[in-house]
Amino acid sequence: MHMQVRPLKLAILTVLALPLSAVAASPGMSSAAAQRAQGLIGVPANTKVLQRADDDGFIAKDSVVDADGTEHVRFDRTYRGLRVIGGDTVVTSQRGLMKSAQMTLRTKLRPSLAARIDKDDAAVEAGARFNGKVQQVFSNELVVYARGAKPVLAYEVTLQGDDTRQHSGFVTYYIDANNGKVLDLQDQIQTAAAVGTGKSYYYGNLSIPTDQKSTTKYDLIDTTRGNGSVYDAKGATVSNVLDILLATLGATLYTDSDNVWGNNTTSDRATVATDIHYGVGVTWDYFKNIHGRSGLYNDGKGIKSYAHTTFRTSSGGTSGVNAAYVALFKSMFYGDGDASRGYGPVVAIDVAGHEMSHGVNAATANLAYSGDAGGLNEANSDIFGTLVEYYTNNAADPGDYRIGEKLRTDGTALRDMYNQAADGRSFNCYITGGFDPNQSDGAHNPHYTSGVANRFFYLLAEGVVVPAGSGLTPSQLVCNGDTTIAGIGRDKAGKIWYRALTTKFTSSTTYPQARALTLEAASELYGAGSAEYNTVARAWSAANVN
């Protein structure tokens, strides 16, 4: 049910020429904090901490300032003008002194920038892995790929077309510029093959904020939450950038003459629009009221949502059993489900919470969509989608740790966070050596590897408590036999996770690193050695992350 287009690399090319001293302040970030952190990067004593090479550049992306004045500033890294994939870092400082720098990069060595193969060869290698008809090479540029054991020169090739494997048709490959080997691949439209006063479809009659233009004209715009709006996409297919652009251009804003929207059935096209409007609103409220975040990008701006969209399937057809957050357009897209397959409209609360949390990730850690980071990316959305559902506390859709259960007419869920491996493909327990970025289109798909972090979060929040009706035993909830874990509650667990995501995780964070960083977050929030800190450690161990 998930789909997200991550920000296109082309979108940041215009700032790569900034000198080391420049700071590009994004909406919602403190430019003063960014300037101070940039100054600390230039201090020679901090070179080793940052694994900074002489020709590295740093571009400020986001900042978080704590109540005690501690500043966390996130930077993307370049090397001689090339983007360093996996080189991003979070600089934490207080009173002008750098306290730490979070990153995955572990060396200041940089590769030679002399490529042995050209970009056309790289495109051919990517096309061979694409396994389908390539319609367009969307981008092809040299980068420094630093997610592996050591940084290497690589081509970042994004292909658009009809892929016959598990892809959406819009995929980025990292190709070693010396030998043509595929290092990593990431689906830019992130889908799950399994899924596939308004009168709403799922939640009955709701009071919803709208924008009154006249006595006989109302727009489905939420003026109380950054002017978020809902459009009718009229069945347009969301598959690649061109499709999405055409879908948005052809969509129309929902308007009404009497401010009554829908009729509780799909016979009225505005019915599911009210579910969407509601879900977007409660997700905004959760992040605002619990974490102090104003909008996905913390800039006070709402998003556009598009009802009645369809999505390309791996078999080449289309389906309404999906939903997506598209970061390039900062927009949400929702499918109508498929009654013949037992799926209702994909507009439930945890759907909105899940997909919009892809946007929060894109604005902060920007976790990659492969390897361990891919699992953390998907789990991040499941975690916040679940917390939004609990926060909303709607009797028609009570909070639980089951994803998408409202959509299924038979009452089953797309996955259970505490036992995701029940689907026969996902992982409950971390594996030796971690998850392979080069297998993100197969056995190590992020939707499968997310089960590790989902299990961790369930145990952290709830402890070893067998969910009613699951048929599980306590020993089946853990990977290491530790059945006496007592949870710390959803509120504390969510705050620990949010702090780690926004001030510590980077694009290539691994599961072991996530353990260390959430422990650091727990220590900052509740104290080293606290019950919360110790439970974080035990919950990770119970998912085999040590």
Domain CATH for 21: 3.10.450
- Residue pair 190/173 in contact (Cβ under 8 Å)? The answer is no
Give a yes or no: residue 181 inside a domain: yes
- Between 132 and 230, name the one with better pLDDT: 230
- Residue pair 334/345 in contact (Cβ under 8 Å)? The answer is yes
Examine the pLDDT at 169 and tell me if it is beyond 70.
no
Give a yes or no: residue 109 inside a domain: no
Exactly one of 167, 354, 358, 447 is catalytic; which is it?
Answer: 447
Question: Which residue, 501, 416, 520, 414, is CA-closest to 458?
Answer: 416
Do 339 and 243 fall within a single domain?
Answer: yes
What pLDDT does residue 167 have? 56
Do 150 and 238 fall within a single domain?
Answer: no
- Alpha helices per DSSP H over 251-336: 270-291
Residues in the chain: 546
Residue 462 bears catalytic tag: no
Give a yes or no: residue 138 inside a domain: yes
Which of these three, 103, 138, 163, is where a domain ends? 103
Residues paired with residue 229 on neighbouring β-strands, in sequence order: 221, 304
Q: pLDDT tens digits, residue range 19-62? A: 222 333 444 566 899 999 999 999 999 999 999 999 999 999 99
Domain count, the chain: 4
Do 305 and 235 fall within a single domain?
Answer: yes
Q: What's the token pair of residue 95?
A: 């009173």
- Residue pair 217/255 in contact (Cβ under 8 Å)? The answer is yes
In which band, very low, low, confident or very high, does the pLDDT at 189 lie, cut at 50, 70 and 90? low
Q: Which residues of 50-62 are buried (b: 16+ CB within 10 A; e: fewer)?
A: bbbbeebbbbbbb
Residue 355 bears catalytic tag: yes
- Between 163 and 206, name the one with better pLDDT: 206
| Calpha distance 231→248 (Å, rounded) | 8
In which band, very low, low, confident or very high, does the pLDDT at 239 lie, cut at 50, 70 and 90? confident
What pLDDT does residue 214 have? 76
211 to 40, 208, 225, 309: CA distances (angstroms): 46, 10, 12, 24
Examine the pLDDT at 481 and tell me if it is beyond 70.
yes
Of the listed ranges 235-244, 246-255, 436-445, 508-517, the one predicted with least confidence: 235-244
Which of these three, 363, 391, 420, is where a domain ends? 363
Pairing verdict, β 170-176 and 152-163:
antiparallel
- Residue pair 530/492 in contact (Cβ under 8 Å)? The answer is no
Q: 3-class DSSP state for residue 224?
A: coil
Exactly one of 71, 355, 389, 532 is catalytic; which is it?
Answer: 355
Do 95 and 125 fall within a single domain?
Answer: no
| Structural domain boundaries, residue 246 | 211-363
Q: DSSP secondary structure string, 19-73?
A: -TT---PPTTS-HHHHHHHHHHHT-GGGHHHHT--TTEEEEEEEEEE-TTS-EEE
Do 74 and 128 fall within a single domain?
Answer: no
Do 163 and 218 fall within a single domain?
Answer: no
* pLDDT mean over 376-399: 96
What pLDDT does residue 163 have? 55
In which band, very low, low, confident or very high, does the pLDDT at 252 lie, cut at 50, 70 and 90? very high
Q: Report the CATH number at residue 458.
A: 1.10.390.10
Q: DSSP secondary structure string, 70-119?
A: -EEEEEEEEETTEEEET--EEEEEETTEEEEEEES-----------SS-H
Q: Which residues of 67-80 are buried (b: 16+ CB within 10 A; e: fewer)?
A: eeebbbbbbbbbbe
Do 409 and 330 fall within a single domain?
Answer: no
* pLDDT mean over 180-197: 68
* pLDDT mean over 485-489: 98
